[in-house]
Amino acid sequence: MTTKQTTRRTVLKAGALALTAPFLSAFDALAAKPKAAGLQLYTLRNEIAKDVDGVIAKVAGIGYKKV
């Protein structure tokens, strides 16, 4: 029967892995694509009452894709 001796190096490797494992999921979250931002038209209610098409064109020109 052979026994594997635990060395200082294997203990340090196991400890480092145990300490870093919870943080690995944080890296997955950083790599994910950001969600698209939207705009609620209620915030523009006074302007929309005057010119619907113009306000929608300006909102699209700023970069909003979802309203």
Record the pTM.
0.46
More confident residue, 2 or 48: 48
Q: Is 33 left (phi over 0), alpha (psi -120 to 50) or beta?
A: beta
- State residue 66 phi and psi, 5-degree precision: -125, 135
How many structural domains is the chain composed of? 1
Residue 1 in domain? no
Range of the domain at 45: 8-62
Residue 65 three-state SS: coil
Residue 58 in domain? yes
Percent of the chain with pLDDT over 90: 10
Residue 57 in domain? yes
For residue 50, pLDDT beyond 90: yes
Residue 37 in domain? yes
Residue 40 in domain? yes
